Structure 1
Amino acid sequence: MKTMKIYEPAMCCSTGLCGVGVDTELLRISTVLNTLENNGVHVDRFNLSNNPQKFVTNQTINNYVKENGVDGLPVVVIDDEITITGRYPTNDEFVKLLNVPENYIGEKPDAVNAASKKTQGCGCSGGDCCC
């Protein structure tokens, strides 16, 4: 199985999901990583505030940060090679990069939206009520 490591900018906590304003992208990443973990797929996640030594000891990441600064984070590493920089992987990219089934990352947002649309309204066709 492929190994994934995510090197993130400095955040107040390990997930960045603390404080009053929650970043929806960090929430998505935490959800995907938790779902992957529940399916037996571990992804290492290193935050510059909590794991600065990981940025120092990994020569590839150290050189990347020296060249691009912390504004170039996050960095996604697959099997010790930088794969994505400056952003997190999309859900589809997680599936492809880790070579896992789609259900390992949870439902796709489109599937969730479609399911919720089906349950909304009074049951009239297309949500257009005649009465």
Structure 2
Amino acid sequence: MSNVQIYDRAMCCSTGVCGPQIDPVLPRFAADLDWLKAQGHSVQRFNLAQDAAEFAKHDRVKKLLADEGIECLPLVIVDDNVVSRNEYPSRENLALWTGTSLKPKASLPTAGLPTADTGGCCGGSSGCC
């Protein structure tokens, strides 16, 4: 499974729903990250306002910030490779970068009650009703 790290600009929260103007991209991206976690990937998200030490620990993040400023944020790093800068990627891109299928996992068939067209009780030519 992949290790996904997101380095966000300074925000009050990662979903973006606590500010006066809600950016619809942020809740969608938060849901996409929850989906990635459910697929078994490691996901870490760092906010510049609250996790500045994490930005300072990562050499590539420090270099990009020094070269480009905060305009490079958000940064998305998958398995130590910068895969996205300056925008929140789609679920499709996250799936591509982590080798995750977008198709839902096949579920086991569920047992149901027989219906008239299946030839069970009271159906077909059983003659029981």
What amino acid is aligned across from residue 91 of structure 2 in structure 1? N
Moved over 4 A (4+): none
- Name the TM-score, length of structure 1 as normaliser: 0.72
Tell me how many residue pairs correspond in the alignment: 104
1:34 and 2:34 aligned: yes
Equivalent in the alignment of 1:82: 82
The within-5 A match list for 1:58-77 is 58-77=58-77
* Percent identical residues: 31
| Structure with larger Rg | 2
- Structure number with higher relative contact order (C-alpha < 8 Å, ≥ 6 residues apart): 1
1:26-62: CA deviations, max 9, x gaps? 0110111122223332311111011100110101100
Please, which runs of 5 or more residues in structure 2 have no aligned partner? 105-129
Task: Report the CA distance between 1:103 and its aligned residue.
Answer: 4.1
What amino acid is aligned across from residue 58 of structure 2 in structure 1? N
Please, which runs of 5 or more residues in structure 1 have no aligned partner? 105-131
The within-5 A match list for 1:10-29 is 10-29=10-29
Equivalents in 2 of 1:2, 1:39: separation in Å? Answer: 10
What amino acid is aligned across from residue 102 of structure 2 in structure 1? E
Give SS of 1:102's match. Answer: coil
Equivalents in 1 of 2:42, 2:34: separation in Å? Answer: 9
The answer to whether the Cα contact below 8 Å between 1:6 and 1:45 also exists between their aligned partners in 2 is: yes
The within-5 A match list for 1:42-61 is 42-61=42-61
Give SS of 2:89's match. Answer: coil
- Name the TM-score, length of structure 2 as normaliser: 0.73
